[in-house]
Homo-oligomer: A and B are copies of this chain.
Amino acid sequence: MRFKVSSNFHYNVKSQSTLILGNLALRTRSQKVVEESLTITPHVRHDEIVSASGDSRFVRFATGEAKDLKVTYQAVVECSQETVDASELKRVPVAELDHQTLVYLFPSRYCQSDQLARLAWREFGHIPDAYDRVTAVCDWIYNNVDYERGSTDAQTSAYDTVTQRAGVCRDFAHLGVALCRALNIPARYFAGYAFQLEPPDFHACFEVFVGNRWIIFDATRLAPLNGLVRIGTGRDAADTAVASLFGDVQFVSMTVNCETLEPDFKPLLSTDLSDKGLCLEA
Contact = CB atoms under 8 A, between A and B. Distances in A.
Interface of A: 18, 20, 45, 49-53, 56, 58, 60, 62, 93-95, 98-100, 102-103, 106-109, 111-112, 114-116, 118-119, 122, 144, 146, 154-155, 159, 162-166, 184, 235, 238-239, 246
The A contact surface, by secondary structure, is mixed
Contacts of A103: 51, 239
A18 B114 contact: no
B99 A122 contact: no
Given A106-B109, A109-B112, A98 B164 contact: no
Contacts of A51: 99-100, 103
Contact of A102 (B49, B95, B116, B146): B49
Contacts of A112: 109, 155
A2 B116 CA distance: 42
A154 B114 contact: yes
For the complex of A and B, the 10 pairs showing the least CB-CB separation, nearest first, are A118-B165, A18-B94, A106-B238, A94-B246, A107-B109, A18-B95, A62-B95, A51-B99, A49-B99, A107-B238
Contacts of A106: 109, 238-239
B49 A52 contact: no
12 contacts: A49-B98, A49-B99, A51-B99, A52-B100, A60-B95, A103-B239, A106-B109, A109-B111, A115-B155, A118-B165, A118-B166, A122-B165
